[in-house]
Amino acid sequence: MKISDAMVSAINDQIKAEFDSAYIYLAMSAYFEAEGLSGMSHWMTKQHKEEIEHAEKFISYLYRRGARVIIPEIARPRENYTDALEVFRTAYAHEQYITSRIYKLVDMAAAEKDYATQSMLQWFVDEQTEEEDNTGGIVSKLEFFGGDKHGVYVVDRELSAR
């Protein structure tokens, strides 16, 4: 069964969202590095690379389905934050946004009875559960420490191990 033009368009749009995500996390990494929080910078750099891998998974899928991939323009990300908690709250909200996008793709594939796309998207559903759990957990830790510099240091050290 041929993948629909609407699904190809929606996946190409998701490719843009994944590259935008990578760029957002790269900018967050740069912010943390400038703030002397190298563990958090490291964590965000890893996140940046994961998002590129996600975009590449979508690209490979479209290739396998014989569809045209459109490489998008990437939006300029935010550069400054008030503190680590704001960065991770922003990252958590962004992951929730990406999850909602993945769910819309799943709904679309189900409506079209596109079983191949549904199968491919299940990996992303599982991945987004993990992404939200990870970023939400970091937000919870930073909220627990309430801006205490020693607490931020502890989280920074923990994130350097990723």
If one counts every other C-beta atom within 10 angstroms of the C-beta of residue 10, the result is 17
Packed helices 84-111 and 38-64: angle between N→C axes, nearest 10 degrees: 10
| Confidence at residue 143, expressed as pLDDT on a 0 to 100 scale | 97
**Structure confidence by residue, pLDDT tens digits, 111-156:** 999 999 999 999 999 999 999 999 999 999 999 999 899 999 999 9
Two tokens, residue 35: 């703030």
Q: What is the CA radius of gyration of the chain?
A: 17
Q: Which of 100, 101, 84 is nearest to 135 (CA)?
A: 84
**Structure confidence by residue, pLDDT tens digits, 1-60:** 899 999 999 999 999 999 999 999 999 999 999 999 999 999 999 999 999 999 999 999
* Fold annotation for 5-159: Ferritin (1.20.1260)
The sign of the dihedral angle between the CA atoms of 107, 133, 40, 45 is negative
Q: Does residue 126 contact residue 24 with C-beta atoms inside 8 Å?
A: no
Q: Does residue 39 contact residue 156 with C-beta atoms inside 8 Å?
A: yes
Q: How open is the CA angle 17-20-26, to the nearest 5 degrees?
A: 145
Q: How open is the CA angle 129-131-106, to the nearest 5 degrees?
A: 45
